[in-house]
Chain A
Amino acid sequence: MSEYKLELVDISKSYGKKVIFENINLKIKKGEFFVILGPSGTGKSTLLKAITGTVPPDSGKIILDGNDITDTPINRRDIAMMFQSYALYPNMSAYDNIAFPLRMHHIDKKEIDRRVRSTAKMLKINDIIDFNVTKISGGQKQRVALARAIVRHPAIFLLDEPLSNLDARIRYTTREELKNIQRMLKQTFIHVTHDQSEARVLADRVAVLNEGKLEQVGTFDEIYNYPVNTWVGDFVGTFPMNFLQEARNKTRQIGFRPEWTRITKKGGINAKVLSVENISNTAFLFCSVPGSAKPVVITSRRQYSVGDKINFRISRFNVYEKGRLVRKTGTAAKKARHPLHKTR
C-alpha cells in the first residue's frame, strides 16, 4: 500500500488545440484536506472530473490507494464528488437524493435508512428530508449534496467549489463545518476553489493551478511566504506581493508582502500615499514608489491620508530572477504569519 491516497501521474487533457491542463503530477496524502486553488477557467473542475473519470484524461495515470484506476468505469471508482451546481436529481426528494449512491451500491434497505437519517441529522437537514429538492433553499441544497457525498464512506471526496453558490454569511459557517466534518471523518478531501480564503482556512496543503499548469504545491503559509514565481505571488494574498526592480540587475526583482515593511521617519524608500484601505486595526497603504509602475502596498498601524509622504523599509524579501524565486531571505520571518490570520 502506498502512503499516498491519490496520485496523478503526468495527466493531460485538451479539447482540440485548447489545452485544459498539461502534465499534472500530484500526490495527495491519506487524510489530507487538499485544496486546488486557481483563477476561474484554469481547468480545476476538469481536473476533478478527470479523477472521477467523467472527463477522461488524454494521457497519464490516476492511482487511488495504489491501484491504477485510469480505465476503471466511473461508477466503480470509490470516489464521491460534489459538483458546483450540486447536481441534485430534481425528480427526487432530498432523502432519495442522499440514498441514491447507497442504492446504487446495493446496500441493505435498513442500513440505507439508518445512514441517510444519521447523515441528515449531522448536517441538520433532517426536517427537510422528505421535500423535493427543487423546493428547498440554496443552503439546504448544498447540504443535501454534501450529505449525498459523505453518506457513502468513499475512499476520497472531491468537492468542486462547494461554497461558491452560498451567501457570504452562510459561507463562513459552512466553511468551518466542512473542516470539522473532514476532521471527524478522517478522510481525504480534495477541494477546488478560486477563493484563497478557503484555501487558507481549510487546507492542509494547497496546489496552485494556472492555465492548466501546476505552479506550486505546499502549505498555504509556504505558498504565501515563498511564492515560487511572481505569478503566484501576485495571485495569492489579499493584496498581491509587491515586486520592485533591483537597481543593479535588470532581470532581478525583490518581492515582499505588505506586512514585511516598516514605516520609518527617515531613510529607506520614499513613497506617496495614493489610497488607504483599512482591515481591522491595520491600514494598507497603496503608495507610489519611484521606479515602480504598480502601486506598492505597505501596512501601517497609524493612519495616513492620501497625499502624505512617507518613508518605509523592507524588513524581509524574496529574490526573483526572471520571475522565478531564487533566494528566500528573511530573518525570523519564517513564523511571521500575515495579519489576516488574526482577524475572523
Chain B
Amino acid sequence: MVLIKEKFIPLFFIAPALAYEAYFAFYPTFSAVYGSFLTASGKVSTINYQELAGLGVYSAITNTVIITIGALALQFVLGFIIASLLVRGFRGKNAFSALLMIPFATATVVAGYIFSNVFSPIGGYANGTLNLFGLSSINWNGAGSNFIVNIIQLIIADSWKNTPIVALILLAGLTSIPRDLYDAAAVDGAGWFSRLVHITLPNLVGFIVIALVIRGVSEFNIFAIALLLFPHKLLTTLVYGLFSLAAKPYLSFAGASVLLGFILVFVALVLALRRITASRSGN
C-alpha cells in the first residue's frame, strides 16, 4: 500500500476530476482560443474576428445577452413566487410540487417542439388563446416577425422548462431561514416589505448566486430550444451561430466567437463569485 502524506490526500482525490477536466475541457478550450488567432496558413492574426464581425456576430451577442437577462429575470420572479408558495404550505401542496417535476423531466427538445406548436406565425395555440380574450393575433415567428416577439417566445419556452430548478433552489434557501427571524422582525414592527429586504433577500444571497451560476451558464449556451423554435435561423443566438458555422470548415471562426462568449460568461461568473465571498464574509 502506498503511503500518502495526509497533506496531499485532498489533491490525490481531486486529481481524477482535474485530469478529466484538463483533457476534455481545458485543453480543447485553450486550443480553440489559440486557433481563433491563427490564419489558414498558421499566422497569428485577428482576421477571423474581423470576418466574424462582418457576419453579424454582434446581433448574435446582443440577442444572447438579452435572452439570458430576460430568461433569468422571468425564472427568478416565477421561481421566487413558487418557492414562497411552497414554503408556507397549503392544501394540495404536494400535488403542486409534483407538477413542478413536469417541465423538469421534459426533455429540452420536446419542450422546444411543444412551444413551436404553441407559437405559430398565423393561428396556433398562443394566438388562439389571445383571440379568446379578445386580443389580436401576433406574428410570432413568421417572415417579418418582430425580433422582440421572437425573443419573448424563446424566453417563455426556456423559462417553462427551467423555472422549476430555480424554484427548488430558492425554496431550499427560504426553508433555511429560521422562522424566529421573521417573528422577531414582526415583533420589531417590520412590514412584509422590510422583512423581504432585511431578512429574506440577505439570507437568500448564496442560493440566488448558485441558481444564477447554474442557470446563467445554460442561458448563454441556449441552443436546442432556439433550434426548434426557429428552424430557419430567424433569431441567432451565439451558440446557434456557432452551430451554423460548424457545418462549414470554419473551425477557427467558431473558436473566435466562442472566445467572446467565454469572456462574457466568465465576467458574469467572477461577479457572481465575488458575491458568494461577500455573503460568506458577511455572515
Contacts and interface: CB of A to CB of B under 8 A. Distances in A.
* Physical contact A–B (CB less than 8 Å): yes
Interface of A: 53, 56, 71, 73
Interface string B1-40: 0010011000000000000000000000000000000000
Contacts of A56: 6-7
B56 to A, nearest CB: 53
A177 B3 CA distance: 40
Contacts, number: 5
Interface of B: 3, 6-7
5 contacts: A53-B6, A56-B6, A56-B7, A71-B3, A73-B3
Nearest to B3: A73
Contacts of B6: 53, 56
B7 to A, nearest CB: 8
Chain B at the A interface: SS class: helix
A295 B3 CA distance: 58
Contacts of A73: 3
Contacts of B7: 56
Nearest to A73: B3
Nearest to B7: A56
A73 B3 CA distance: 8
Contacts of A53: 6
A53 B6 CA distance: 9
A56 B7 CA distance: 9
A42 B55 CA distance: 68
Nearest to A55: B6
B263 to A, nearest CB: 35
A73 B6 CA distance: 8
A31 B7 CA distance: 33
Nearest to B6: A56
Nearest to A74: B6
Q: Which 5 A-B pairs have the closest CB atoms?
A: A56-B6, A73-B3, A53-B6, A56-B7, A71-B3
A61 to B, nearest CB: 16
Nearest to B1: A73
A301 to B, nearest CB: 51
Contacts of A71: 3
Nearest to B5: A71
Nearest to A72: B3
A56 B6 CA distance: 8
A56 B3 CA distance: 15
B6 to A, nearest CB: 5
A71 B3 CA distance: 10
A71 B6 CA distance: 9
A53 B3 CA distance: 14
A320 B6 CA distance: 45
A289 to B, nearest CB: 46
B131 to A, nearest CB: 60
Nearest to A56: B6
Nearest to B4: A73
A71 B4 CA distance: 10
A214 B59 CA distance: 71
A59 to B, nearest CB: 14
A58 to B, nearest CB: 11
Contacts of B3: 71, 73
A173 B7 CA distance: 42
A166 to B, nearest CB: 29
A268 B7 CA distance: 63
A73 B4 CA distance: 9
